Amino acid sequence: MNNQVTTKVKNVLNGFTDHEIGEDHLFTGLETPMKKDAFKLTDEEKKSKISNLFEEIMDVMGLDLKDDSLKGTPDRVAKMYIDEIFSGLNPANKPKVALFDNKYQYNQMLVEKEITFYSNCEHHFVPIIGRAHIAYISSGKVIGLSKLNRIVQYYAKRPQVQERLTNQIAEELKFILGTDDVAVIIDAKHLCVSSRGIKDDTSATVTAFYGGSFNNSAKIAELQNYLKL
């Protein structure tokens, strides 16, 4: 029995439906769920299929695809999905990162805050709009500041759950920097909450990862002072 089926059986035994699990924003693991043959098709083949399928969706909804404003929409959506908002699904788009020696002997936390990102909720495919704050303490190497932004964008550009996004960014930075001394805080608004369902436009969700030296109250307080959270 595969993991997906096992999870489904456990959910049923515990009295939960897949719909209820999705609404609670739970997730199954650190890795984004992908099929084994996810990259069997080229990007162009994927765009062609998505365009055809989205055209069918629009037709079912009763939209007139002969209208000048609508007839190009299926192609635009397909291009947007593959080349833009879900480009983080393809490992070929992972940012290349170069490290530099910490010649400045700077051994305190470095904080990059207010990194804006746009992601999409994997339960309803509507936007998650947020800010990421990243901190690390060098173990001898430093990373270019813009690369921190690129790592956030890479993992955000896929169907996501905020908890997973937080942990994926943290684990990537731990691996690249060779240290556990990494912290990631994400503050985001979910349009699946504000534009549908409960329609609460004022709430926001905050998730955090504190690793290594950051996993103590003094360092957390110092970091939060920098962020003014």
At residue 24, the pLDDT reads 52
At residue 26, the pLDDT reads 53
Considering the candidates 124, 163, 222, 224, report the single residue annotated as catalytic. 124
Considering the candidates 153, 160, 162, 168, report the single residue annotated as catalytic. 162
Considering the candidates 160, 168, 172, 192, report the single residue annotated as catalytic. 192
Structure tokens at 205: 């969700």
Considering the candidates 55, 121, 160, 172, report the single residue annotated as catalytic. 121
Annotated active-site residue 160? The verdict is no
Cα–Cα distance between 157 and 204 in angstroms, integer?
Answer: 20
At residue 28, the pLDDT reads 63
Annotated active-site residue 124? The verdict is yes
The beta strand positions in 5-126, using DSSP E, are 99-101, 110-121
At residue 29, the pLDDT reads 82
The answer to whether 180 and 143 are in contact (CB under 8 A) is no
Q: Tabulate helix, strand, coil % of the chain (nearest 5).
A: 45, 20, 35
pLDDT in tens, 31-79: 999 999 999 999 999 999 999 999 999 999 999 999 999 999 999 999 9
At residue 18, the pLDDT reads 47
Region of 140 please: left (phi>0), alpha (psi -120 to 50) or beta: left
Annotated active-site residue 171? The verdict is no
Cα–Cα distance between 8 and 25 in angstroms, integer?
Answer: 15
Quick one: which of 176, 104, 101 has its CA closest to 142?
A: 101
List of the chain residues with pLDDT < 70: 1-28, 229
Domains present along the chain, CATH in parentheses: 3-93 (1.10.286.10), 99-227 (3.30.1130.10)
Cβ-proximal residues to 24 (8 Å cutoff; 6+ apart), any chain: none
At residue 229, the pLDDT reads 59
Considering the candidates 55, 123, 153, 168, report the single residue annotated as catalytic. 123
Cα–Cα distance between 196 and 94 in angstroms, integer?
Answer: 32
Chain centroid offset of residue 112 CA: 18
Annotated active-site residue 123? The verdict is yes
Annotated active-site residue 190? The verdict is yes
Considering the candidates 122, 133, 153, 160, report the single residue annotated as catalytic. 122
pLDDT in tens, 194-207: 888 888 888 999 99
Residue 176 is which amino acid?
I
What one-character-per-residue DSSP string does 66-82 give?
TSTTTTTHHHHHHHIII
